[in-house]
Structure 1
Amino acid sequence: MERPGPAADRLLPLSGLEELPMRPGQPERARELAVRHAMTRTRELDIADPVITRVERWAAERDRPAVADERRRLTYGELAEEARRLAALLEEAGVRPGEVVGVGGRRSATVVAAFLAIELLGALYVPADATWPAARVRDVLSQAGAVALLDVDEGERSPALLEGAAQAGCPVLRALEASDFEPWTGKPRLHSLDQPRYVLFTSGSTGRPKGAVVEHRGMLNHLWAKVIDLEMTDADVLAQTAPLGFDISVWQMLCPLLLGGRVEVIGDEVGHDPVALARTVDERGITIVELVPTMVRHLLDDLAGAPAGTLGGLRWMIATGEELPTELARRWLETMPQARLLNAYGPTECSDDVTHHTVTHADLELRRLPIGTPIVNADLYVLRQEDDGTWAACEMGEVGELFVGGLCVGRGYLGDPDRTRAAFFRDPIADTPSGRLYKTGDAVRLLPTGTLQYLGRVDRQVKIAGVRMELGEIEAVLQRHPAVAAAAVVVHEFTPSR
C-alpha cells in the first residue's frame, strides 16, 4: 500500500481554522468570568519527558512491579526492555516518526509496552479492539493511515482483526516476534510538545468515525492532572478496565508509571462481572477504579450483603462516560464511605477529562450533580450563540454551550478538515500554546458553588454504556442497504430486570 506519510501532514494547521466569532468585548468578558469563577486553572508541570523516560528512570532507581494482567507481571525494567524490543520490531518493519501504528487485540500488559514502543519511535498509537467487527477495524486503520498493525494477542487471534487489517491493506506484525530482537538503543524521538501522540476514533454523523488526534503535551497534562487531583503516589494501584478504543484506557495504562505505581489490567470476563471485579480489586490491592455509572450501579447491586471489608482498600471510584445520577451517588456514599467518588467529564478531542468533581453529601440536594471544575491548564467557557451567529459569554446560572481551551485541546480530526473546522476554532479569548478552542456540543451552566452542571447535548449525540454514538451515523449506515429507503433512530431508555 502507498505510505500515507506523517500524520501531521494530514492535520489542519491552526491557520486553517476560523477564529470563533464573538461580539466586541465578549472575549474579554468570557475571560473575566472564567478567571473570577475559577474556570481556568494554571500550573507549571514537567511534561517535557515521554512516559518511557519515566519508566526507565524507575527501572534504574528501584525496579518494582509496573504492570500486570491475568497472565503475567512485568517490573519496570522488564516493561522497558519489552518496549524497546517492540520498538526494534517496528523499526525493522519500516515505521518512521510521525506515522500511525495500530495496536490490536485484547487489553494486556503487552499493550502498555506497545504504546511505549510507539512513543520511543515518535509514532502515533491507534487502538483496534479485539471485539470490533472487521468493518470497524478496516475503517479505523484506513482512515488513520496506519502503516502496520501490531497484534498483541498470544493465544487465539481475532479473525475480525486480521480480516479488517487485510481489507485496509495494513500489514500485521505479531508482538511475539519481538523476543527475537535486541532492544532498540536509540533515544526517545520526541521533538516538540505539540507532537501528535495518539489518535482515537469516535462516532461520526456521516457514518464515518472521526479520528481525534491528541498531542504529547495534552496527554501528559491530563496524566499529571489525575495525579494531582487524586493525590496519587507510588503506592497506588490503578485498574485498567476500559476497552482499548475508549479514551480513558490511555490514562489508565500510563498514569501510575509516572510515579512508580502499578497498573492492573482487568480483562472483560472479570470487568463485566461485578462480583469478580470486587474480588479482584481486593486480591490485587487496587486503590483506584474507573467505571461508567451503569457498571457502578451493577457493582452496588451485586455487593449487597457482601462480607464486611469488601473494597476496603479502594481510595477512589471514578464515574465517567455517562451522567452520574444523584441517586446512584447517594448509594455509593452511603455504602462505600471509605472510597471517595469522583465525577469526571471530558471529550476525547481534549485529551480525555477536562473537569473533576469530588461528590459530597451537600451535592445530593441537587437534581443533577456537578461535573466540577477544570483540571490543570484547562480553560472552560460557557457561551451562547446569538441570532447573528456570534458567541457571547454566559453569566452565572445561564445555560450555554461549553467550550474548552488550554493545553488539553487536541489537533482536530485526522485527514478530515471539514469536521475539524466544525468543532475547532482559533481561540480569541486567551493566548494558549494550542491556540485552539473546542466546541463540545454540551449544554452546561455555572452554579453558585463555582462548579459546572451538565444539562445534556445540543445535538443528536447520545452515550450508550459510556460510548459516544451519533444517531446520524446509525441512520447513515442503515440507509446504505438497498432495501432501506429512509431510517430514523431514536433512543428508548429502559431498566432491565435483574
Structure 2
Amino acid sequence: MNAGGPVAGRLLALTELPALAVSVDEAGRARELAARHGMTSDREVDLADAVIARVERFAAERDRPAVADRTRTLSYAGLAAEARRLATLLEDAGVRPGTVVGVGGERCATVVAAFLAIELVGALYVPADETWPAARVRDVLDQAGAGVLLTVDAGATAPALLEGAAEAGCTVLRAADADGRAPWAGEARLESLDQPRYVLFTSGSTGRPKGAVVEHQGMVNHLYAKIVDLGLTGADVVAQTAPLGFDISVWQLLCPLLVGGRVDVVGDEVGHDPVAFARAVDERGITVVELVPTMVRHLLDDLAAAPAGALGGLRWMIATGEELPTELSRRWLQAMPHARLLNAYGPTECSDDVTHHTVTAGDLELLRLPIGVPVANARLYVLRHEDDGTWRACDLEETGELFVGGVCVGRGYLGDPKRTADAFYQDPFEATATGRLYRTGDAVKLLPPGAGGDDRPTLQYLGRVDRQVKISGVRMELGEIEAVLQRHPAVGAAAVVVHEYRA
C-alpha cells in the first residue's frame, strides 16, 4: 500500500522564502528595541528530547498513572507498551520516517499512545477530528499526503471519518489491531531538530485549509515553556479538553508526561456542561485547565449551582483562542483567587503560544488586557508598514503588526508555497535556529512598564489586520466561508460579515 510520501519536497526551503523589506539600520534598531523591552527570551532547552523517552524513563523509575479517559487509565509503562505496539502496526503498514499519519476518532487515551507511536517511527501526526464532515476529512488527509488513517475508537468509528479517508485514498488502520503485536524496538527516530513533527490545518481564505507544519524543536520548546511558566510537576493533572484539530490539544496531550504528571481526557459530554466539568475537576484532582474565554464565562455563570468550594484544587486557568475580556478576568480573580489566570497568545504556525501573561488586579485598570511577554526562545518584533513598502520598528506605545522569530517558528504550509511566502520570511534580525520570521497579521502595542500589573513592558493585542476572525476560539477566514457557500449551485455570490452579539 501507499503510506504517503515524505513532506520535505512539499515545503519551501529557507532560501526560497522572501526577504522582509527592512533596511540594515532598521533591522539593527528592531533588534535593539526587542532586547531592551524584553521581547526576546533565551532559555536552555534540550530540543532533542523525545516524549516517549521521558515516558519510559518515568515508567522505569516509578510507574504511575500517565493518562486517563472515561473508560480506562494507562500507567506510564502501559502507555509506552501501547505506543510501541502501535508503532509496529504503523511500520507493518508501510509508514516510514517523514510520512504523514492521520489520527482520527474520539478524544481518548489512545490518541496519546498514537502520537508517541508516530514519534517512534519518525512520521508526522495530523489529526482528523471526529466531528468534521467527510469533505473536511478528505481535504485534510489529501492535502497532507496521508496514506494512512489510524482510528483510535474502541467501537465504531464516525462514518464521516471513514468516508473522508476513503475519498482521500487512505488505508484505515484500527488501533485495536495492534493488540498482540510485538513491541517496536529502538529509540525514537529523530534525524534532525528541524524534523517536521506534526501538521495542523487552519482556515484558509481560498476555501482550502492550510496545513501548518511544526518542527520537533518547536514542539519540544513549547512543551518546556509551559512547564517552566506554569511550574508543572509530577503532582499536576492537566485537563485535555481541546478538539484534536485545535493546536492547544498537542501540549495538553503531551506536556504532563515530561514531568511525570497526568493527562486527564475530559469528554465533550462533560466539558460542555459547566457544572459537570467543575465536578470532574474536583473528583479527578485536575490542577490545570485551558479554555477559550467563552467557556470560562459559562463556567463562572454556572458555578452558583456547583457545590461550595468547587475548583478548590485548581492551580491555573489558561485562557486562549480568543481575546480575554477585562471584566471576565475581574470575575475570575474575585471568584477564584486561589487559581491564577494566564492569558496565552500564539498562532498554530509558531508551535502554539508565543506569549504568556499572568493576570493581576492591576491589569483590570486596562480596557484590553496584556498578552504578555515571550515564552522561552521566542523573539517578538512590533513593526509598522510604511507608505514606501518598508517596515519600521515600533517603540513603546506605538501600534504595529506582530512578527515572531526564534525556534518556535514552523516550516510553513504543506504543499502551499504561495501562502507560505505570504506569511513567512527570512529572519533579517537574528540568526535563529529556524532562520524564519512569521507575520501574524495581529495588531499589537508595547505597553510601558507599570501599565497594568506588570513592572516590565508587555504586549497588548489590538485585533486583526485582515479579515480573519475567531468564533468560540476557532480561527476562521471569512473568505473560506464565502468560498464554501459559493460551492452550492444555487449560490451565485456570497459575502460574510461578523455581527457581535452582547447579551
TM-score range normalised by the length of the shorter chain: over 0.9
Report the counterpart of residue 23 of structure 1 in structure 2.
23
Stretches of structure 2 lacking an aligned partner (at least 5 in a row): 450-456
* Alignment CA distance shift 1:3-1:418 (3 Å): farther
Q: Does 2:332 align with 1:332?
A: yes
Partner of 2:231: 231
Residue in 2 that maps onto 1:311: 311
Structure 1 equivalent of residue 453 of structure 2? none
Give, in whole Å, the separation in 2 of the partners of 1:168 and 1:180: 29
Check conservation: 2:3, 2:93, Cα contact below 8 A: no
> In structure 2, what is the equivalent of residue 197 of structure 1?
197
Answering whether residue 89 of structure 2 is matched by residue 89 of structure 1, we say: yes
**SS across alignment from 2:470:** strand
Q: TM-score, normalised by structure 1?
A: 0.98
Query: Quick one: distance in 2 between partners of 1:485 and 1:151?
Result: 38
- Percent identity (aligned): 77
Cα offset, 1:2, TM superposition: 5.8
**Distance in 2 separating the partners of 1:447 and 1:261:** 36
**SS of structure 2 residue aligned to 1:136:** helix
1:432 alignment counterpart: 432
Per the alignment, residue 491 of structure 2 pairs with: 484
2:482 paired residue number: 475
3-state SS in 2 of match to 1:318: strand
SS of aligned partner of 2:440:
strand
The aligned amino acid for 1:16 is: E
CA contact (8 A) 2:2 2:94 kept: no
Counterpart CA distance in 2 for 1:156 and 1:301 is 36
1:59-98 superposed matches below 5 A? 59-98=59-98
Equivalent-residue separation in structure 2 for 1:334 and 1:16 (angstroms): 51
Q: Determine the structure 2 residue equivalent to 1:369.
A: 369
How big is the shift at 1:186?
2.2
Residue of structure 1 equivalent to 2:217: 217
User: Shift in Å at residue 100 of structure 1?
Assistant: 0.2
The one-character-per-residue Cα deviations of 1:305-349 (angstroms, maximum 9, x if unpaired) are 533211000000000001000000000000000000000000000
The alpha carbon displacement at 1:24 in A equals: 3.6
Q: Does 1:171 align with 2:138?
A: no
Match of 1:149 in 2: 149
- Deviation string 1:229-280 (CA, Å, 9 cap, x unpaired) is 0011110000000000000000001000001000000111001111110000
Distance, in Å, in 2 between the alignment partners of 1:4 and 1:440 is 30
Q: Which amino acid aligns with 1:474?
A: I
8 Å Cα contact 2:292-2:472 kept in structure 1 = yes
Structure-2 separation of matches of 1:177 and 1:4:
20
**Cα displacement (A) at 1:169:** 0.6
Number of paired residues? 496
Assess if the C-alpha contact under 8 Å between 2:87 and 2:118 holds in 1.
yes
Post-superposition shift, 1:387? 1.2
C-alpha displacement at 1:23, in angstroms?
2.5
Give 1:421's aligned residue: 421
- Helix, strand or coil for the counterpart of 1:146? coil
Partner Cα separation in structure 1 for residue 370 and residue 304 of structure 2: 27
**Counterpart in the other structure of 1:412:** 412
Indicate if the aligned counterparts of 2:4 and 2:148 stay in contact, CA closer than 8 A: no
Partner of 1:384: 384
User: In structure 1, what is the Cα distance between the partners aligned to 2:182 and 2:475?
Assistant: 41
Q: Show CA shifts across 1:444-465 (max 9, x none).
A: 0000130000000000000011
Give the C-alpha shift of residue 481 in structure 1. 2.0
Bigger drift between 24-33 and 343-352 goes to 24-33
Distance (whole Å) between structure 1 residues aligned to residue 233 and residue 341 of structure 2 = 18
* Secondary structure of residue in 2 paired with 1:66: strand
Where structure 1 has 5 or more consecutive residues not aligned to the other structure, the ranges are: none
Q: Residue 4 of structure 1: CA displacement?
A: 4.5
CA distance in 2: counterparts of 1:156 and 1:416, whole angstroms:
34
Which whole-Å deviations, capped at 9, do the CAs of 1:50-106 have from their partners, x for residues lacking one?
A: 100000111111110000000000000000000000000000000000000000001
Equivalent position amino acid for 1:8 in 2: A
- Aligned runs of 1:261-300 on 2, under 5 Å? 261-300=261-300
| Bigger mean CA deviation after superposition, 14-23 or 350-359 | 14-23
Choose the corresponding residue for 1:458, options 462, 465, 473: 465
TM value normalised by structure 2: 0.98
- Rounded to whole Å, the distance in 2 between the matches of 1:30 and 1:4 is 42
Secondary structure of residue in 2 paired with 1:41:
coil
Displacement after TM superposition at 1:486 (Å): 1.2
Paired AA for residue 289 in structure 1: V
Q: Distance in 1 between matches of 2:469 and 2:322?
A: 9
| CA contact 2:275–2:306 (8 Å) conserved in 1 | no
Task: State the AA in 2 paired with 1:487.
Answer: A
Q: What is the letter of the counterpart of residue 427 of structure 1?
A: D
Partner residue in 2 for 1:39: 39
SS at the partner of 1:40?
A: coil
Runs of 4 or more consecutive aligned structure 1 residues displaced over 3 Å after TM superposition: 1-4
Structure 2 CA distance for aligned equivalents of residues 83 and 230 of structure 1 = 27
> 2:258 — aligned with what?
258
Q: 1:156 & 1:332 partners in 2: Cα distance?
A: 40
Cα drift, residue 156 of structure 1: 2.7
Partners of 2:237 and 2:31 lie apart in 1 by 38
User: Counterpart of 2:203 in structure 1: which amino acid?
Assistant: S
Please give the alpha-carbon distance, in whole angstroms, between the structure 1 residues aligned to 2:28 and 2:502.
46
Tell me the distance in 1 between the aligned counterparts of 2:488 and 2:133.
Answer: 18
Deviates more, 1:480-489 or 1:119-128: 480-489
Letter in 2 for 1:301: D
Tell whether the 8 Å contact from 2:325 to 2:368 is kept in structure 1 after alignment. Answer: yes
